Amino acid sequence: MNNGGRDATLVGMISQAKANALLSGSTTSNVPEGTNLYFTSARARSVISADYPIMYDQSTGVIDLDTMWDDMKAPASAINPAGSLAPPTVDNSDGSLVFAKGKVVSLWLQLPHAWKEGTELRPHLHWTKTTTGVGLPNWQMKYKWANAGDVLPAFSSLVSGIEGITNNNIVNKHSLFKFPPLDATGKLISSMLCVVLQRTDDANDTYADSAKLLEFDIHYQIDSTGSRQEYIK
């Protein structure tokens, strides 16, 4: 080995030893950052931002989906009234259901996997008048609701709806009736909800003519795009 090569190796070893000595015990507390900043969780989190419906907490780094609203829909054209005790008739021109006083339908809905479990449901119906007659139909509903694996309970008591979008005695005006919210305590995705919807034949129904049901639906809150498991949220 020539002296030049040996000297170079020796210089390299001495330089490495000096570097090791200098770095021994060094931490981010006593070595300046310079232009390349050290990693910290706070710095990493601070460069991320999000807009609705994504929620982001910079203090924890947690990313989540904000609560939104959607509809569970039972359009009139999808309800088969033949099994009801007093079914309405079908308007063959548009598929709506024509309710004279005393007519009844029932329908089933499954709670979707995107639903925010345990949050209340807000049922309502869309309807129109068939004449310019004054007064309002008395729409009522009752329901029973059970999780998968549970026994279906008895129906709830009947409750009447109230106007959400007024009709003003205009034929074919798209109007809305709202019902009280349904308590969802303990209820899960894929639970089944049976609703009986009727128009009463009593003094509370002040509209003399037929009313048309366009759709019964339920507003519900969602907090995900679906469930993480097939049957469990």
The 10s digit of each residue's pLDDT in 127-173 is 999 999 999 999 999 999 999 999 999 999 999 999 999 999 999 99
Residue 163 φ/ψ, nearest 5 degrees: -65, 130
**Taking a C-beta distance cutoff of 8 angstroms, is the pair 76, 214 a contact?**
yes
pLDDT higher than 90, residue 57: no
Average pLDDT for the chain = 87
At 107 the pLDDT is: 92
Burial zone of 25 (CB within 10 Å; 0-12 exposed, 13-18 middle, 19+ buried): exposed
pLDDT band at 117 (very low <50, low <70, confident <90, very high): very high
**Rounded (5°) CA angle 107-108-109:** 130
Where is pLDDT greater, at 16 or 48? Answer: 48
Q: How far apart are CA 216 and CA 178, in angstroms?
A: 10
From the list 107, 116, 108, the residue with the least C-alpha distance to 219 is 116
Residue 11 pLDDT > 60:
no
What is the percent of the chain where pLDDT is above 70? 87
Residue 21: band (very low, low, confident or very high) from pLDDT cuts 50, 70, 90: low
d(Cα 228, Cα 217) in Å, to the nearest integer? Answer: 26
Closest alpha carbon to 87 in 108, 106, 105, 107 = 105
More confident residue, 58 or 137: 137
Residue 111 in contact with residue 189, Cβ under 8 Å? yes
- Say whether 149 sits in a helix, a strand or coil: coil
Q: Is the pLDDT of residue 83 over 90?
A: no
Q: What is the CATH number of domain 69-222?
A: 2.60.120.260
pLDDT at 24: 66
d(CA 207, CA 87): 19
